[in-house]
Amino acid sequence: MEEPADIRLGRGQRLAEVAREDLELYAVEELEARMAALDAEKARTQSFIDKKKAGRAAADALFRS
């Protein structure tokens, strides 16, 4: 018997699921932990934005010369 194939999620689908999650049942401590995880993800995302902008600026400078 074959195992079922993993379902491939689209880009941003997990983030959309997180945004729709009902927060009513969470305790304050759980919500604070969630906020800390989201803050860490925001910082990680910002570092990728900065990295991509720096790469783009370097490429622009190279081809302008």
At residue 20, the pLDDT reads: 95
pTM over 0.85: no
Average pLDDT of 5-26? 91
In a domain, 6, yes or no: no
In a domain, 2, yes or no: no
In a domain, 1, yes or no: no
Containing domain of residue 44, as a range?
Answer: 25-64
Largest CA-CA distance found in the chain, in angstroms, rounded: 61
In a domain, 33, yes or no: yes
Provide the number of structural domains found in the chain. 1
At residue 8, the pLDDT reads: 85
Q: Decide if 34 contacts 26 (C-beta within 8 A).
A: yes
